[in-house]
């Protein structure tokens, strides 16, 4: 059984419409992507590519799951040494509450906007100006949930 089978019960979609209407993720309340996915793959398949960067010149950089775990741990320890307060929130849950887990990036955008001190109304206007009407209310709700998560 593949790792993602633990959380994604269906992955054999027949079309984009099928994906859009039936994609779902089931995850436990204490789910942590870094630990539950990246670290688990690093443990079981350390040399598996997690990221491959390449450019038109043919240059390439490969990062394995073991590398990702190491870089993530180093970054976390560096932030901790600086006394940085790390925020932990269930962005996937907030996106689902907003209407779809696909809105997770908009939740995170809301968090970032709050951290950077961006004016909420201007951000919501930017969403209104750029997001397709059928997805607008869901994305506004997702942004608000992310923005409000830091209160």
Q: What is the pLDDT of residue 3?
A: 66
In angstroms, the CA 77 to CA 138 distance is 35
pLDDT tens series, the chain, 151 aa: 566 667 777 767 888 888 878 777 777 777 777 778 888 899 999 999 999 999 999 999 999 999 999 998 898 888 889 888 777 788 888 999 999 989 999 999 999 999 899 999 999 999 999 999 999 999 999 999 999 997 6
Q: What is the pLDDT of residue 150?
A: 78
In angstroms, the CA 29 to CA 12 distance is 25
């Amino acid at each position: 059984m593949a790792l993602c089978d633990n959380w994604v019960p269906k992955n054999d979609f027949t079309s984009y419409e099928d994906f859009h209407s039936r994609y779902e993720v089931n995850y436990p309340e204490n789910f942590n992507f870094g630990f539950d996915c990246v670290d688990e793959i690093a443990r079981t398949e350390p040399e598996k590519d997690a990221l491959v960067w390449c450019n038109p010149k043919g240059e390439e950089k490969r990062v394995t799951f073991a590398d990702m775990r190491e870089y993530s741990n180093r970054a976390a320890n560096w932030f901790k040494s600086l006394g940085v307060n790390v925020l932990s929130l269930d962005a996937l849950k907030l996106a689902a509450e907003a209407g779809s887990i696909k809105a997770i990036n908009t939740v995170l955008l809301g968090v970032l906007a709050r951290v950077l001190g961006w004016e909420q109304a201007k951000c919501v206007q930017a969403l209104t100006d750029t997001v397709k009407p059928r997805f607008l209310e869901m994305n506004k709700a997702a942004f608000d949930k992310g923005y409000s998560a830091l209160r």
